Amino acid sequence: MIRYMIVQNVLHRPLRTLITVIAVAVEVTLVIIVVGLTSGLLLESAKRIEGVGADIMVQPPSASVFMAFSGAPMPIAIAGKLQQLDFVQAVAPVLLQFNSVNGLDIVYGIDPESFRAVTGGFVFHSGHDLLDPNDILVDDIYVASKKIKVGQTLHILEHDFHVAGIVEHGKGARLFVLMPTLQDMAGAHDKASVFFVKCDRTDHTPAVMDGIRQLLPRYEIRPLKDFISLMTSSNLPGLGAFINTMIAIAVAIGFLVIFLSMYTTIIERTREIGVLKSLGASKSYIVRIVLSETTLLCIAGIAAGVGLSFLTRFIFIKVFPTLTILISIDWILRAGLIALLGGLLGASYPAWLASRKDPVEALAYE
Amino acid sequence: MRNAARIFPSAETLTLELEPVLEPILKTENLWKVYRTGKVDVPALRGINVEIFPGEFVSIMGPSGCGKSTLLHVIGGLAQATRGRVLLDGNDLSAMSDSARTLLRRHKVGFVFQRFNLLPTLDAYHNIALAQHIHGNGFDPHRFDVVANLLGLTERLKHKPSELSGGEQQRVALARAIISEPKIVLADEPTGNLDTKSSESVLGLLRQLNKDLGQTIVMITHNPEAAAYGNRILHMRDGLVVNGTSIH
């Protein structure tokens, strides 16, 4: 009976219902997309690093796992020392630069020979390897996003590069230039940001890491096998706070809209509440009706929000092919729970207000 | 002699069987209700003493503002008395908490209002069934059918209030009031919003409920013709019952 009454109440005011459902859907979408975007970027970045094919990554002391935040304080001569360690097959020094023109990208400054030795080399879709100091390699996803062709000029890092080749994605970055060129541009001569180390056998990785620790005691030495697990928002200062802030804003939207919606509903239905009380409905019965109606609105909003999230992801990826938005069941459930709790919290005061109404005054309400 | 006593009971036994002592279903004792408007106390009821007996159909008449509706609200447990006592089926409403009065209303009182007060989102069927649901004893299809038939609602149950005439809405309200078999039905100007024909129909139904089912009814009305449907009329003025008339 309560269920029927609630459904009828919801259908009785379709515009109010629609607006409330949309507000909850926006709340859910905001949470899912913000988390999905950050998680997706981190995961995609981690996969590309893993795609380099190295076994170990060596960074300067206290360097972040997020390499874009690292400078270039390591002498490139370290590569020679690493190469001499037992079980080391190849070492590739890489200089990183962060490009924020026309998007956010990491540019790898590489030595083609050593990079090839570690990664197994690029798979070329077209063009050729880096030969000229102004050459640049771009991956296929970047090409799809920016609509560029081999032979075209690409202006990044305040420099005009010549697109020499298009390569398969997944080798650390989307843009690759010769290391000396990037060193000149960054004023970091004979410096590298990271060393990728390839062992002769994967099971020798721990032994090589021990050797590196002895050689470079305070340096950050990470096995790439576990790299994806390290790329989380909790490892990036400020990202967790950013996500929490976005969730708080989303919850505030849902809370306020539900509060307003249920508050106006209670005012509008004052006489009906009086009727229920005259029939002997208890306070808890009236609270149950209000909160059940809120729950129904929230469930509809959550379902719409999940659908809207997938639609948003589809559109975003169409427009920005380099983006990765990771929508996980875990965060769909969390976003739903957040929306439901926020909604119930928003409806609790109006529900309490309804249950406290004086039946005589409520019945006389015009 | 013993056999004769069996066939012809003594005069004392006969009296006990034919005239049982009837307890009032509703009794008020020196009932006061005072509203406070700003710093001024406005008494709506000034010491009412009435007794309503099971199976009675009592009409209460009086001019606007004499306290009729207030009396109905207080004896129905919707409002708390300021002073005095209200005994409904032996329960003292004036000593009860809000929750206890709610429970008492649920099980012992049925209300009928001038403006019908049906829930606009529900059809007639669910408006009536709602009372059974709140009552808490589950849906009784037999009782529902009896009431719907008695009030001529069988063909109108799927319609929402906005699709029903005033008379039909009031019949639905009447069905809702009696569906859970209350001890007493309190009707506040039940014909106040109806035309003459619908009024006669609703009043006829009230009388039928009273006569056929023995339903105790207290009805407030301005209309002497409507009041005449009851078997006793109480006249109120300035918060007091000034006289009563029995109709045979």
3-state SS record for chain A: CHHHHHHHHHHHCHHHHHHHHHHHHHHHHHHHHHHHHHHHHHHHHHHHHHHCCCCEEEECCCCCCCHHHCCCCEECCHHHHHHCCCCEEEEEEEEEEEECCCCCEEEEEECHHHHHHHHCCCCEEEECCCCCCCEEEEEHHHHHHHCCCCCCEEEECCEEEEEEEEECCCECECEEEEHHHHHHHHCCCCEECEEEEEECCHHHHHHHHHHHHHHCCCCEEEEHHHHHHHCCHHHCCCHHHHHHHHHHHHHHHHHHHHHHHHHHHHHHCHHHHHHHHHCCCCHHHHHHHHHHHHHHHHHHHHHHHHHHHHHHHHHHHHHCCCCCCCCCHHHHHHHHHHHHHHHHHHHHHHHHHHHCCCHHHHHCCC
Q: Does the structure show a pLDDT above 90 at A13? A: no
Phi, psi (deg, nearest 5) at residue B105: -60, -45
> CA angle at residue B168 from B162 to B171, to 5 degrees?
125
Residue of chain B whose alpha carbon sits nearest to that of A5:
B122
DSSP assignment, residue B159?
A: -
In the predicted model, what is the mean pLDDT of residues A338-349? 90
Question: Which of B107, B126, B134 has the CB atom closest to A4's CB atom?
Answer: B126
Q: Decide if A281 and B102 are in contact by the 8 Å CB cutoff.
A: yes
Burial class (CB in 10 A: 0-12, 13-18, 19+), B46: middle
> In chain A, what percentage of residues exceed pLDDT 90?
37
Question: Which of A4, A278, A283 has the CB atom closest to B111's CB atom?
Answer: A278
- pLDDT tens by residue, A102-130: 667 889 999 999 999 988 888 999 999 99
Residues facing A156 on adjacent strands: A159
Q: Decide if A363 and B99 are in contact by the 8 Å CB cutoff.
A: no
Query: Which residues in chain B have their CB less than 8 angstroms from residue A271's CB?
Result: 117
- Which region among A132-136, A265-269, B128-132 has the lowest average model confidence (pLDDT)? A265-269
Mutate one of A9, A16, A278 to test the B interface: name it (highest B CB count within 10 A): A278
Residues 6 or more apart whose Cβ sits within 8 Å of residue B196: none
Instruction: Indicate the helix (H) or strand (E) that contains B133.
Output: helix B124-135
Q: Measure in Å the smallest separation between the Cα of A357 and chain B Cα atoms.
A: 11
Other CB atoms within 10 Å distance of the CB of residue A112: 18
Q: Measure in Å the smallest separation between the Cα of B78 and chain A Cα atoms.
A: 6
Residue of chain B whose alpha carbon sits nearest to that of A11:
B121
Question: Which of B120, B121, B134 has the CB atom closest to A280's CB atom?
Answer: B134
pLDDT at B3: 45
- Which region among A263-277, A304-318, B6-20, B115-129 has the lowest average model confidence (pLDDT)? B6-20
Residue of chain B whose alpha carbon sits nearest to that of A6:
B121
Query: Which residues in chain A have their CB less than 8 angstroms from residue B120's CB?
Result: 12, 272
Instruction: Indicate the helix (H) or strand (E) that contains B107.
Output: helix B98-108
- pLDDT tens by residue, B185-244: 999 999 988 888 889 989 999 999 999 888 999 999 988 999 999 989 999 999 998 876
**How big is chain A, counted in residues?**
366
> CA angle at residue B185 from B182 to B186, to 5 degrees?
140
Q: Decide if B78 and A363 are in contact by the 8 Å CB cutoff.
A: yes
pLDDT at B1: 40
- Enter the ipTM: 0.85
Q: With a cut of 50, which residues of chain B have pLDDT below it?
A: 1-16
Query: Which residues in chain A have their CB less than 8 angstroms from residue B118's CB?
Result: 275
Query: Which residues in chain B have their CB less than 8 angstroms from residue A279's CB?
Result: 105-106, 111, 130-131, 134, 176
pLDDT at A104: 72
The pTM of this model reads: 0.75
Phi, psi (deg, nearest 5) at residue A358: -75, 125
Single-letter residue type at B247 = I
Tokens (6 digits) for A80: 């020679």
pLDDT at B4: 43
Residue of chain A whose alpha carbon sits nearest to that of B134:
A281
pLDDT at B243: 77
CA dihedral A339→A345→A346→A348, nearest 10 degrees, is 140
Mutate one of B45, B69, B121, B172 to test the A interface: name it (highest A CB count within 10 A): B121
Measured CA to CA, the distance from residue A279 to residue A296 in angstroms comes to: 25
Question: Which of A9, A278, A280 has the CB atom closest to B121's CB atom?
Answer: A9
The SS3 call for residue B125 is helix
pLDDT at A228: 63
Q: Decide if A5 and B79 are in contact by the 8 Å CB cutoff.
A: no
Question: Which of B103, B119, B133 has the CB atom closest to A275's CB atom?
Answer: B119
- pLDDT tens by residue, A169-183: 888 888 999 999 999
Query: Which residues in chain B have their CB less than 8 angstroms from residue A272's CB?
Result: 119-120
Single-letter residue type at B158 = K
- pLDDT tens by residue, A21-54: 999 999 999 999 988 888 887 777 777 777 778 8
- List the one residue out of A118, A69, A113, A104 whose CA is nearest residue A220: A69
Q: Contact at 8 Å (CB) between A57 and A194?
A: yes
Residue of chain A whose alpha carbon sits nearest to that of B139:
A1
Question: Which of A8, A285, A360 has the CB atom closest to B121's CB atom?
Answer: A8
pLDDT at A187: 84
Q: What is the mean pLDDT of chain A?
A: 87
Residues of chain B in Cβ contact (below 8 Å) with chain A = 73, 76, 78-79, 99, 102-107, 109, 111, 113, 117-122, 126, 129-131, 133-135, 176
Query: Which residues in chain B have their CB less than 8 angstroms from residue A1's CB?
Result: 126, 129-130, 133
Other CB atoms within 10 Å distance of the CB of residue B120: 15
pLDDT at A321: 77
Q: Decide if A5 and B111 are in contact by the 8 Å CB cutoff.
A: no
Question: Which of B78, B99, B126 has the CB atom closest to A359's CB atom?
Answer: B78
Interface size between A and B, measured as CB pairs under 8 A: 69
